[in-house]
């Protein structure tokens, strides 16, 4: 887990650009405070901030490896973990070790050399063999080819910018913002991405809020040479295909799910430092912690909480920790903590994400970093096993499928005449729509009328369908729950869930690992039929059955709560109303937003005229982002990380 930064020059890399790259590396110091490494030749410049997790005393980066006749042919920058690196090393030694004669094939004990050797012998096909989370850059000093790759699900970020003077790539968008002038590019805002953000509460891949900076998408690699634009290829497409399990019985299916999850957790425990676990009151993080403690009896677990009743899972998490035998830590978060941390959190985010759970995650990561260097977490279980309540909607809307289209449309017109908040309005409205029309992921914030009021330049064609239509096109013929899961893997998961997980933990120089988002776990999950994911009574049915002997009974059938935040209460009261009003008044976003409409929405929320908290929060986070990255008006105080190399 580290911070990488590179610059492939369209011509010869000048000393001036070399210095600019090294200075820009400071922006990602929090991703790797243990060690800094730099290297360059006439074409490419590499910079690296290391968070030492595996093979701490060796495996320095940039890392070199090559065949016996050219042992420094390849140069690696690598952020993340390849959990099957030990198996890869054994396979490579068995197949090719003799070529090295008396010289060792590997000089370190980490995964870096396994990545390079796999690439040398298998080419780009090697990327599909890596089981883990990663952003990778491989420079071939012989052919002058650069390969950039990102893991299957988008756990680790990788930003790109290509201009007339070259291509820059980094884990942090801030790094590339520093280098835009060197690339010959402007920092122009992408107003289409602004609208996408306002609709979805995050910026969907591959966009960013800056027109000249994009993201390499999850499950993709890019190849390029000096003076060329990256050529992007998708190597992994998550498809939900119902296929038989190893044995016919349902009990065998549940045993298979439990076994593959246990294997994934075991591999995610591989580290030369202490590994802890986040723990909420839900089944996902509980399953991970309960399996992890089998490999580390001294497991430490961590949760965050608010003092307001109904917005804390601290008691349940503490009960779970006691049941599995873990030592547990709780970080309480006050409204004052919450508001004070927002500018710093938005700076770490790079692009805005309007998920209120970012803040408690930031604070629990801060607490965990006092005790451990790596934590496990339960992200991805909902998308793979069918955990969101909204996935049950196809069951409740099933009767509408039998109605002729004109009748369904009539139901929609009737719903338009029903007052807001009245029973049946939402059911009629959503029942009148197709899946593609009504579902654009777990983030649902503004409707078109509200967007038209808030955005200065609202374009209906830039709405959610602009993002979701190409994804839906790839899942035609699947059952509706599988289509919703597939959409969320490409939108909500990698746009919100994994961004906040990566950014909030790395802000505290803490590595987060997600055992559910593992290739072999997915290959089990993709085979689960509709009725084993969603039932009228519950979600994640097959997973719950698989975890009956692993998860304590008090958690097994609890409804999903996550990291709840009392935002709607705070925005109505003294905790956050004045703070929010100040942000609106001081923001210099009048050319993008109707600030009067935003303030009116805040006041209506304060008076109890509907719950506008998520919409208000979406706009507030954007205003703060704009104040930091565009106006240069808000200047968060970012402390230099000072963590020990070992914990």
H helix runs in 97-138, sequence order: 112-122
Q: Is 2 a catalytic residue?
A: yes
Q: Which of 46, 43, 50, 39 is nearest to 3 (CA)?
A: 50
List the structure tokens of 176: 């590339």
3 vs 39: CA distance, rounded Å: 15
User: Would you tell me how many other CB atoms lie within 10 Å of the CB of residue 62?
Assistant: 21
Helix (H, G, I), strand (E, B) or coil at 413: helix
Helix (H, G, I), strand (E, B) or coil at 149: strand
Task: Tell me if the bond preceding 482 is cis, omega within 30° of 0.
Answer: no
372 vs 272: CA distance, rounded Å: 11
Answer yes or no: are the C-beta atoms of 555 and 567 closer than 8 Å: no
Active-site residue (options: 2, 25, 180, 216): 2
7 vs 182: CA distance, rounded Å: 10
495 vs 383: CA distance, rounded Å: 13
Answer yes or no: are the C-beta atoms of 365 and 373 closer than 8 Å: no
Pairing mode, strands 44-50 and 327-332: unpaired
- List 135's β-bridge partners, or say none: 79, 150
575 vs 578: CA distance, rounded Å: 8
Maximum CA pair distance of the chain? 82
- List 79's β-bridge partners, or say none: 135
451 vs 601: CA distance, rounded Å: 12
Answer yes or no: are the C-beta atoms of 619 and 593 closer than 8 Å: yes
Cα-Cα-Cα-Cα torsion 288, 294, 297, 301, nearest 10 degrees, comes to 0
455 vs 458: CA distance, rounded Å: 5
Q: Which residues are known to be catalytic? A: 2
């Amino acid at each position: 887990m580290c911070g990488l930064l590179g610059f492939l020059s369209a011509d010869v890399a000048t000393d001036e650009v070399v210095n600019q790259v090294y200075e820009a590396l400071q922006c990602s110091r929090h991703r790797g405070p243990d060690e800094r490494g730099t290297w360059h030749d006439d074409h490419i410049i590499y910079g690296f901030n290391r968070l030492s997790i595996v093979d701490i005393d060796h495996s320095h980066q940039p890392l070199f490896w090559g065949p016996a006749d050219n042992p420094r042919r390849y140069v690696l920058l690598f952020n993340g973990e390849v959990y099957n690196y030990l198996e890869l090393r054994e396979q490579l030694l068995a197949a090719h070790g003799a070529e090295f004669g008396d010289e060792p094939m590997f000089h370190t004990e980490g995964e870096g050399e396994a990545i390079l050797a796999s690439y040398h012998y298998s080419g780009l096909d090697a990327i599909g063999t890596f089981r883990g989370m990663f952003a990778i850059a491989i420079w071939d000093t012989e052919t002058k080819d650069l390969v950039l790759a990102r893991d299957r699900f988008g756990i680790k970020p990788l930003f790109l910018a290509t201009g007339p003077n070259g291509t820059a790539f980094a884990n942090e968008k801030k790094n590339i913002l520093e280098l835009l002038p060197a690339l010959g590019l402007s920092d122009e805002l992408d107003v289409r991405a602004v609208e996408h953000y306002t609709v979805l509460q995050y910026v969907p891949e591959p966009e960013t809020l800056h027109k000249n900076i994009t993201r390499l998408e999850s499950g993709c690699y890019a190849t390029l040479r000096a003076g060329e634009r990256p050529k992007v290829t998708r190597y992994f497409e998550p498809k939900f295909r119902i296929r038989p399990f190893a044995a016919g019985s349902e009990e065998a299916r549940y045993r298979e799910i439990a076994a593959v999850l246990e294997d994934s957790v075991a591999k995610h425990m591989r580290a030369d430092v202490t590994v802890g676990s986040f723990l909420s009151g839900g089944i996902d993080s509980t399953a991970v912690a309960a399996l992890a403690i089998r490999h580390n009896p001294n497991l430490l677990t961590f949760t965050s909480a608010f003092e307001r009743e109904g917005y804390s899972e601290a008691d349940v998490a503490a009960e779970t920790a006691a049941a599995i035998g873990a030592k547990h830590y709780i970080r309480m978060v006050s409204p004052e903590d919450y508001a004070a941390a927002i500018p710093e959190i938005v700076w770490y985010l790079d692009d805005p994400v309007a998920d209120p759970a970012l803040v408690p995650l930031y604070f629990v990561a801060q607490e965990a970093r006092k005790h451990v260097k790596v934590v496990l977490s339960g992200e991805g279980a909902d998308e793979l096993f069918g955990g969101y309540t909204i996935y049950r909607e196809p069951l409740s809307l099933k009767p509408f499928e039998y109605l002729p289209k004109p009748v369904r449309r009539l139901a929609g017109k009737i719903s338009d005449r029903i007052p807001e908040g009245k029973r049946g309005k939402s059911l009629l409205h959503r029942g009148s729509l197709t899946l593609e029309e009504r579902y654009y992921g777990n983030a649902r914030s503004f409707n078109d009328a509200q967007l038209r009021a808030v955005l200065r330049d609202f374009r209906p064609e830039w709405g959610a369908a602009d993002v979701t239509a190409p994804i839906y096109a790839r899942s035609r013929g699947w059952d509706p729950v599988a289509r919703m899961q597939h959409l969320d893997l490409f939108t909500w998961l990698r746009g919100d869930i994994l961004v906040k997980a990566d950014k909030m933990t790395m802000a505290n120089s803490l590595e987060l690992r997600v055992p559910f988002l593992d290739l072999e776990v997915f290959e089990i999950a993709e085979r689960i039929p509709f009725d084993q994911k969603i039932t009228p009574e519950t979600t994640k049915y097959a997973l719950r059955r698989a975890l009956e002997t692993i998860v304590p009974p008090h958690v097994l059938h609890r409804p999903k709560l996550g990291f709840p935040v009392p935002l709607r209460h705070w925005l109505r009261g003294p905790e956050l109303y004045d703070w929010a009003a100040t942000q609106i008044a001081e923001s210099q976003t009048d050319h993008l937003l109707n600030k009067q409409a935003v303030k009116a929405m805040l006041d209506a929320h304060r008076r109890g005229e509907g719950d506008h908290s998520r919409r208000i929060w979406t706009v507030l986070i954007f205003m703060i982002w704009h104040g930091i990255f565009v106006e240069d008006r808000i200047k968060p105080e970012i402390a230099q990380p000072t963590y020990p190399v070992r914990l």
